[in-house]
Every structure is written in C-alpha cells, then in structure tokens.
Structure 1
Amino acid sequence: METFELVHHPTTPPLGVTGLCARILAFEPRWLTLRWRVEGAGRIVLPPFAGKVRADGLWQTTCFELFMRPQHRDEYVEFNFSPSQAWAAYDFCGYREGMVERAMPRPPVCTPRRGQSVLIFDVALPTAALPALPFVYGLTAVIEEEGGHKSYWAMAHREDRPDFHHESCFASRLEAPHQP
C-alpha cells in the first residue's frame, strides 16, 4: 500500500515536527491496519492512558484520524484514534451533517511507540466497521506540541483553513482486492 507524506496546513506550522507519513499497512478479511510515523516528535504532547474506551473530543490534543466515504456518495465515516488508546467513530449523512456514533463490532487496537524523536502509531480497525468498497479516504492527524501549539496534517487540505471533513481531504481510493 502507498505511503502518504502528510502536509501541515499552512496556517498551522509545527514547532518541532519535521515530517509525518501515514499508510494502510494491511487490509485483511478481519482487520484494517494503519500506521502514522511522526518525525521530530520530541515536543509532542501525548494524552494520558485512558484504555480502550469510546470518547469524544479526541481531536483537541494529539489524535490520528481516518475519514472514509463510499465512492460517489455524500455520507462518510470519521474514526479518531488517540495515543491514550481512546477512540471514536461517527457517521455523517453529508458534509458535517447528521453526526451520530457509528456502531462498532469491537474497539480498535491503538498502539503508540515513542522514541527520542520518532512517534509510531499503529491502529488495527475491525473491517466490519468499514463502509462498503470501493471508498475514498483520508489519513489525517492533529499534533499538539508543548505549550498547547497544534498543527493539522492531511494528505491534502482546503486552502483557507484546516478542515478534515472537506472533500479535498478524501485524497485516495481503495478498491476491493482482485481475485485471481
């Protein structure tokens, strides 16, 4: 699967983060596995451990996100994953409209690993929670650094302000695997 170099929105430059990439590691019958890698992560603020709980407002600090929309449809899904292991999942019927909690067969598994200057964040998401293929998707991140400074990272951005729900952030497509 392709690795995407996420870019910060020009209105929210990072302090110490020098790069952020994200990718789908594996798409198997039961799990979709994702990875984000943050370079220059020495000043990143990580929320305290919360365990595998559903929680709102995760985007208010360091949070990794996946947006998915069935191709040629208005409705979409937002998944939020925190290094605290808390998570959230929402359905929308249109652009920022009709938000409701998405039913999940089981919680995603969130695994942060932090080194001196690198943060690797892996997520295993049950495939039963995903919309039907083919879909377009966006991998995004909110990064909080010391002092409350936040930068907003995505595969692509709208011009005027960070907005992960905007059409521009659904920058890649995933098809059903081809059978031999």
Structure 2
Amino acid sequence: MLQLHRHPDFPSPQGFTLSVDWWLAAEDRLTIAYHITDPSNRILWPAPAQGRSDGLWQHTCFEAFVGSTLGPAYAEFNLAPSGAWAAYAFDDYRAGMRDFPVSADPQIAGAAGRWTATIPLAGLDALLGPAPWRLAITAVIEATDGAKSYWSLAHPPGKPDFHHPDCFAARLG
C-alpha cells in the first residue's frame, strides 16, 4: 500500500489520510483500492449518479492516468464515488483531448473508508503502444466546508497538475 501525498498548498482535514493499492486483474482491468481515513467525517461525498460525465474533478473524485513509456500519449480516467465516470485520451501534455472509448464502463464501489475502482484497459495499447506503461494515481477531495485538497503519488513543483509527467510515479504491466 502506498500513501498519496497532499499538495502542500491545499490543506486537508486533520487526521485525513489516503493510500492506494493497485493490481492488474484478468481481462485487462486495472483495479485501484483507495483507503481513506477521515476521523472527523469532513469529506463531502457526491450524490449518486451513473454513466459518463464531465467535470467530475471539481468535486471528490478518484483518478488514474496511464501513459506511454514510448511517447507523450496518455489516458485519463475519472471515477466519482457517486458512480459517474469519464475517460479521455491525450496525444501529449494536455493536448489532443478527446473521449476515450472504453470496452466496458469503469466501475467504482465502496463506502467512506474504502473505494475500489475498476478500469478497463482494452484499447490502451492502440493509444499508448505496448505495456509497460506509466501510472499516476490521484484524487481530488472536497471537504464539507468546500475546501479542496489534491492528492497524488508525486506532485510537480507549482500548482496541482495531475497531467504533469512528474505525477506518473508508478509503472503498470
């Protein structure tokens, strides 16, 4: 299990921690387990929703970025605890953004202490080339007072930017 690190410019509620495990499951599926400690119950959880939806990162949302080791292309997956999700492909750093067609809807399930996201990876090799790939695991956490904190395995200098190559701190495949 690895800790996600809060961006230093955006405080989080006292005692809050976020860690992750991930593994590749059968049939090219990435599973990420997000483990959350929130002793003050300060996280604002979104209302239930389903299906593809944009703007999920504006509220509590779990994210994964999978990038090529051969070039700048990457895919972004957003999974809200509400059940809504989004998937995008990029040709380069924040360039060429478009919906990424998934073979099945990404899924998220759980409760306040543990959320498990399952992301279909079929079709990524056409975008990224063969595995291994670079992996960034991130989260936006919105508190009940509206404050947001930004979490990642690694952060680049400056403002939070999950698309930045420095966030791709793990390998997949």
| TM-score > 0.5 by shorter chain | yes
Contact 1:17-1:38 at 8 Å conserved across structures: no
Match of 1:71 among 69, 72, 76: 69
Contact 1:15-1:149 at 8 Å conserved across structures: no
Residue pairs, 1:53-132, within 5 angstroms: 53-114=51-112, 119-131=113-125, 132=130
Report the Cα distance in structure 2 between the residues aligned to 1:7 and 1:35, rounded to whole angstroms.
16
Residue pairs, 1:13-52, within 5 angstroms: 13-40=11-38, 42-51=41-50
Report the Cα distance in structure 2 between the residues aligned to 1:59 and 1:38, rounded to whole angstroms.
18
Report the Cα distance in structure 1 between the residues aligned to 2:154 and 2:58, rounded to whole angstroms.
20
Q: Report the secondary structure of 2:87's partner residue.
A: strand
Task: Note the C-alpha offset of 1:174.
Answer: 1.9
Q: Percent identity?
A: 39
Matching residue's letter, 1:105? S
Matched, 1:170 2:165: no
Report the Cα distance in structure 1 between the residues aligned to 2:24 and 2:67, rounded to whole angstroms.
19
Matching residue's letter, 1:49? P
Matching residue's letter, 2:89? D
* Runs of 5+ unmatched residues, structure 2: none
Report the Cα distance in structure 2 between the residues aligned to 1:75 and 1:17, rounded to whole angstroms.
36
- RMSD, aligned α-carbons: 1.4
* Runs of 5+ unmatched residues, structure 1: 176-180
Report the Cα distance in structure 2 between the residues aligned to 1:105 and 1:46, rounded to whole angstroms.
27
Report the Cα distance in structure 1 between the residues aligned to 2:15 and 2:65, rounded to whole angstroms.
23
Task: Note the C-alpha offset of 1:129.
Answer: 4.6
Contact 1:6-1:20 at 8 Å conserved across structures: yes
Contact 1:143-1:152 at 8 Å conserved across structures: yes
**Aligned twin of 1:158:** 156
Q: Report the secondary structure of 2:145's partner residue.
A: helix
Report the Cα distance in structure 2 between the residues aligned to 1:22 and 1:93, rounded to whole angstroms.
27
Given the two structures, how large is their TM-score scaled by the length of structure 1? 0.88
Equivalenced residue count is 168
